[in-house]
Amino acid sequence: MKKIIYIVVVIAVLVAVGFKLMSNKEQMAANAAVAEIKSDAIPVAVTEVKTAKLDKSFTAQGNFAPIQSLPLSSETQGQIQRVLKRKGDKVRAGELLIQVESNTMAADLATAQTNAEKAKRDLERFENLAAGDAITQRQLEDARLAAKSTQAQLVAARQRLNKTRITAPISGEINEIYVEVGSYLNMGTKLYDIVNVDKLKLQVRASESEVLLISKGDKVTVKADAGSGQEYEGIVTAIAAQADPTLKFDVEIEVKNTADNNLRAGMYGTAYFKVDDQRDALLLPREAIVGSIQNPSIYVVKDGKATQRTVKVGVVTQDQVEILEGVKPGEQVVRSGQINLREGIKVSVL
């Protein structure tokens, strides 16, 4: 009898364990199904498109260019005797850079000077003779022509000698040198690249709406992106009269460099144009933009799905972007989580 009772208890325990395992399996399957359903929806944070007051002030980016840049070439012939300035040296206008062998030029100058002096004396003598009708008028004219010719030869010889002393035509810094002592120069031989960065030009582009807000002579705050946040004062010196194919207008800003020339030609800079006026605008946080400002798009959430749209942007501030086309007020736009999105995917709003 005890044996039968023991068997019945064991069977009951086994049945209870089997039922529990089956129940757990069903619960796990249900949980997995729920998890699978939830995993179809990508969690995102959204923001609402709103109309707000926007400062008409705007920024524009561009590159610094030297106020003066000059490739210096030879205007004489001969062998270089001395090179006084090299790459990285600062120079002033008129400062000697290269001395070319000048013995031949000096001899030519001495000969030209002698000929000019002789022709001058001959002319004086012929004028005295002409006063007494001792020579013809034709002889007097020939003497005058000879004096002018030799004087012109003297000027040319003096210029050729002067050109053996090659001086800096502008103040600036030697950016590159192409010759050495002993090099033989011909006419047009490239010698130096000289750039003047005491002042620079920041060349930016403004949209058709922005260009109407600025004028020649306006003061602009400028920063170099590679700098430590130092600000420079710039002045608008030129505004293009015609837009480029992208409907942008070239704007040139002159910027005075620091004493140690911190700014360098080719650096990337940002100009801040302050405008004391406001207007209504559709604004979105900058992080809502997918891709670059030049080719922007956003994800709009509707009926639990994300739809990508191309938008047109206007003014870009440090943390906001003006949207000109592509969205309407009140629409929900993905602010974060775009990295996992694709067109038409389900989303869950955090």
Count of beta carbons in the 10 Å neighbourhood of residue 169: 15
Domains and their CATH numbers in the chain: 43-54+279-349 (2.40.420.20), 59-66+196-278 (2.40.30.170), 104-163 (1.10.287.470)
d(CA 279, CA 213): 13
Spacing of C-alpha 121 from chain mean position? 63
Cβ-based burial of 48 (10 A; exposed 0-12, middle 13-18, buried ≥19):
exposed
Concatenating the DSSP letter of every residue in 125-180 gives HHHHHHHTT-S-HHHHHHHHHHHHHHHHHHHHHHHHHHTTEEE-SS-EEEEEE---
The whole-model pTM stands at: 0.58
Q: Read off the pLDDT of residues 113-164 as tens digits, 9 standing for 90 and up.
A: 999 999 999 888 888 888 888 888 898 898 899 999 999 999 999 999 999 9
At 32, is the pLDDT very low, low, confident or very high (cuts 50, 70, 90)?
Answer: very low
The per-residue pLDDT for 35 is: 44
* pLDDT more than 90, % of the chain: 45
Answer whether 123's CB lies under 8 Å from 147's CB: yes
List of residues 6+ apart from 67 with CB closer than 8 A: 196, 197, 198, 199, 200, 201, 254
- Calculate mean pLDDT across residues 277-306: 85
Q: Which residues pair with 269 in a beta bridge?
A: 62, 224
- Calculate mean pLDDT across residues 296-319: 85
The per-residue pLDDT for 227 is: 67
Helix H or strand E encompassing 252 = strand 248-256
Res. 101: pLDDT tops 90: yes
